[in-house]
Amino acid sequence: MKNNLDIKKVAIDTFELEAKNVLALSERIDDDFVKVVETILDLQGRVIITGIGKSAIIAQKIVATLNSTGTPAIFMHAADAIHGDLGIIQQADLIIAISKSGNTPEIKVLVPFLKQTHNTLVAIVGNRDSYLAEQADYILDTTITREACPNNLAPTTSTTVQLAMGDALAVALQTKRQFTDRDFAKYHPGGALGKQLYLRVGDLSDNNGLPVVSPEEGIRSVIISITTFRLGATVVLENETILGIITDGDIRRMLEKHEDISQLTARDIMSVGPKTIDRNELAVNALHSMRQFSISQLVVTNEGKYAGIIHIQDILKEGII
């Protein structure tokens, strides 16, 4: 049985071998890569990516990355393609076939049918002398020195390199399209990442109501306002001007400081100069401000006027963190 040192060495050797082969890809980014990017940018259809075995799994991941970064893509399993799925391919599409050897039986059967459609065929292939490479219009070379598998059999280094080539392609397309974080959010509306990019303060605070008291109102009114809206605070407002905020903490400090609270007003216990945020700001920015100042809520404004309160729990419920 291997000791811990041997096990660690296996892991480190795997990292080093795969990293070396990924870095070697930089020497193979040639005119074909540029032409593939330019062709996809001008494409009226979609990118169809196909593969078999582990290459098929990598194809699915590349499809997902392309779709999320502005390039419409569809996965087509190589085995299924010759049993009816070729109907996926439309005239304006581009096809990418992924294979380490480029000589698998499924690829040899599939490629002639792909050529019949007259679509542009791109090979992500680890053998430039293979059948797939010979038939392809463009080659993205993913040749490796060896697999990380001790028997040099299980797809390890080869799939890592394929994945890296797919990422390079997706990022190049994303960059050329000037695909921004706002664009990215359109494709990720349901996830935490997307919400960081599109969810606004007003989207949350508008549901909270407007806890407010005048500066001369008594402590009972203050407590009722805080309790009613369950935001841990109420705003002190006079002639539409924000004078201050009263939080649960201010109430506790008042009770510790004063024996008789019957004559106290909101003005007496409020904290002046409350932290504010515009309702059009991103909700994630509100979270950053709360963390910066170690507070649980911010006063929301709209064109400088009081528009509500956003509480840290509003943000946590959205799963932004």
Domains with residue ranges and CATH for the chain = 4-179 (3.40.50.10490), 198-317 (3.10.580.10)
Tell me what pLDDT residue 131 has.
96
Token reading at 224: 């009722």
Global confidence as pTM: 0.67
Burial class (CB in 10 A: 0-12, 13-18, 19+), 43: middle
Contact residues for 215 (Cβ-Cβ < 8 A; gap 6+) = 236, 238, 243, 265, 266, 267, 270
Tell me what pLDDT residue 321 has.
65
Tell me what pLDDT residue 244 has.
96
Amino acid at the residue 81: A
Q: What b/e sequence results for 3-32 when a residue is b if at least 16 CB atoms lie within 10 Å of its CB, and e otherwise?
A: eeeeeeeeeeebeebbeebbeebeebeeeb
d(CA 186, CA 127): 38
d(CA 201, CA 89): 44
Q: Which helix (H) or strand (E) holds 125?
A: strand 120-125
Tell me what pLDDT residue 178 has.
86
List own/partner pairs for 217-220 with CB under 8 A and 24 or more apart: 217/265, 217/266, 218/262, 218/264, 218/265, 218/266, 219/251, 219/254, 219/261, 219/262, 219/264, 219/265, 219/266, 219/269
What does pLDDT average to in each consecutive run of 10 residues of the chain (321 residues)?
77 96 96 97 95 95 93 92 82 95 92 90 96 97 96 96 98 88 62 69 94 96 95 95 95 93 94 95 92 95 96 88 65
**258 labelled binding-site residue:** no
